[in-house]
């Protein structure tokens, strides 16, 4: 009888953890099988519990939903207090890249967003996706310019018969992003899909170090477009923090060399150190 109770408990535990929802930084992409994209893999990915964001700026994170085949679910988002942050949900579509898959194209979703695993019962275009157990979403979060510095709880909620919650506490910090210039340069400037996701942000950092204005994406339709926009906002903030002197922060120059020196061993999340530096003012 005791053995039977243990077996039932283990089976229940297995069912409980068959579904999962997690939040990752914008630089940690996942494939349809629940594994990090090889180019982004970090030995110690940052736990996204209390990310910072400037006022009038954006914070983007990946929400990764894992579930067995045949699962239907709803994805919700909520904030406490409500109506302080503007939150949009985008579904990520997978594209072949290198030897695997990368999330790339985006389609905005309502909240709640309905999903099923796998995405189609029989994927005749790519039968490998019949084994899919992971779907990914991009949460794009904006703090209006008049928001006072504070903390706001944000949750991504997965409804599969029962509720699963991925919480984080967004820290709205004092720096305020200046308005985007009317004559801002718009040009697609993104890395190849198979390159580390941080390479797109690195391009904007190098422009800043060369004394050039940031480049803004022409369209907001891919994960890489959001990374380009977020990095452009970071560099606009860096210019504003420098003031009339127009000086270049030597700390950012030092950080810009790390991918060249350490290569892929850095992982894609090295760019988060750039955000950490800028948002501390």
Per the structure block, which two tokens stand in for 214? 């940031």
**Is residue 1 over pLDDT 80?**
no
Burial class (CB in 10 A: 0-12, 13-18, 19+), 105: middle
Give the mean pLDDT of the chain: 90
- φ/ψ of residue 147, rounded to 5: -70, 125
Per the structure block, which two tokens stand in for 161? 């018969």
Q: Who contacts 5 (Cβ-Cβ below 8 Å, separation ≥6)?
A: none
Where do the domains of the chain lie, and which CATH numbers do they carry? 8-176 (2.60.40.10), 185-278 (no CATH)
- Kindly report, residue by residue over 98-133, the tens digit of the pLDDT: 889 999 999 999 989 999 999 876 566 777 788 899
Query: What is the DSSP secondary structure assignment for residue 279, as one 8-state letter?
Result: T
Burial class (CB in 10 A: 0-12, 13-18, 19+), 73: buried
Respond yes or no on whether the N-terminal peptide bond of residue 98 is cis (omega within 30° of 0): no
Least confident interval from 146-155, 171-180, 264-273: 264-273
E-only strand ranges, the chain: 20-25, 52-55, 58-66, 71-80, 86-97, 100-109, 113-117, 134-142, 150-160, 162-176, 185-186, 215-216
Cα diameter, the chain? 77
Per the structure block, which two tokens stand in for 198? 């941080």
- Kindly report, residue by residue over 209-223, the tens digit of the pLDDT: 999 999 999 999 999
**Is residue 89 over pLDDT 60?**
yes
- Kindly report, residue by residue over 209-260, the tens digit of the pLDDT: 999 999 999 999 999 999 999 999 999 999 999 877 777 899 999 999 988 8
With bands split at pLDDT 50, 70 and 90, how would you rate the model's confidence at 189?
very high
The per-residue pLDDT for 122 is 58
- Kindly report, residue by residue over 15-33, the tens digit of the pLDDT: 445 899 999 999 999 999 9
**Terminal-residue alpha carbon distance, the chain:** 62
Query: For a pLDDT cut of 90, what percent of the chain falls above it?
Result: 77
**SS3 sequence of 237-267:** HHHHHHHHHCCCCHHHHHHHCHHHHHHHHHC
By DSSP bridging, strand 113-117 and strand 71-80 are antiparallel
- Kindly report, residue by residue over 53-82, the tens digit of the pLDDT: 999 999 999 999 999 999 999 999 999 999
With bands split at pLDDT 50, 70 and 90, how would you rate the model's confidence at 261?
confident
Comparing CA positions, the residue from 127, 104, 90 lying closest to residue 37 is 104
- Kindly report, residue by residue over 32-57, the tens digit of the pLDDT: 999 999 999 887 889 999 999 999 99
Question: In the β-sheet with 162-176, what is the strand arrangement from edge to edge?
Answer: 52-55, 162-176, 150-160, 71-80, 113-117
With bands split at pLDDT 50, 70 and 90, how would you rate the model's confidence at 281?
confident
Residue with tokens 């790390």: 258
The per-residue pLDDT for 121 is 61
**Is residue 3 over pLDDT 80?**
no
- Measured distance CA(195)–CA(213) in Å, rounded: 24
The per-residue pLDDT for 5 is 40
Residue 77 burial (CB count, 10 A):
21
Taking the mean position of all CA atoms in its chain, how far away is CA 10?
34
The per-residue pLDDT for 119 is 81
């Amino acid at each position: 009888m005791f053995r039977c109770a243990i077996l039932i408990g283990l089976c229940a535990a297995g069912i409980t953890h068959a579904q999962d929802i997690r939040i990752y930084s914008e630089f940690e992409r996942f494939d349809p099988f629940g594994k990090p994209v090889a180019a982004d893999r970090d030995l110690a990915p940052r736990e996204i519990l209390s990310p910072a964001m400037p006022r009038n700026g954006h914070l983007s994170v990946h929400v990764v939903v894992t579930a067995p085949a045949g699962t239907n679910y709803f994805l919700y988002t909520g904030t406490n207090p409500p109506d302080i942050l503007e939150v949009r949900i985008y579904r990520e579509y997978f594209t072949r890249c290198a030897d695997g898959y990368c999330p790339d194209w985006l389609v905005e979703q309502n909240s709640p967003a309905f999903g099923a695993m796998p995405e189609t019962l029989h994927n005749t275009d790519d039968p490998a996706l019949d084994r899919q157990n992971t779907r990914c979403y991009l949460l794009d979060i904006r703090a209006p310019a008049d928001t006072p510095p504070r903390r706001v709880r944000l949750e991504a909620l997965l409804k599969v018969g029962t509720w699963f919650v991925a919480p984080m506490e967004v820290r709205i910090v004092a720096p305020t992003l200046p308005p985007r210039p009317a004559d801002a340069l718009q040009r697609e400037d993104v890395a190849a899909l198979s390159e580390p996701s941080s390479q797109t942000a690195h391009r904007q950092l190098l422009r800043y170090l060369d004394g050039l204005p940031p480049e803004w994406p022409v369209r907001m339709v891919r994960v890489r477009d959001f990374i380009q926009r977020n990095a452009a906002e970071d560099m606009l903030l860096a210019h504003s923090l420098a003031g009339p002197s127009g000086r270049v922060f030597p700390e950012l120059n030092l950080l810009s060399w790390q991918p060249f020196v350490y290569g892929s061993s850095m992982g894609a999340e090295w760019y988060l150190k750039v955000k950490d530096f800028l948002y501390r003012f």
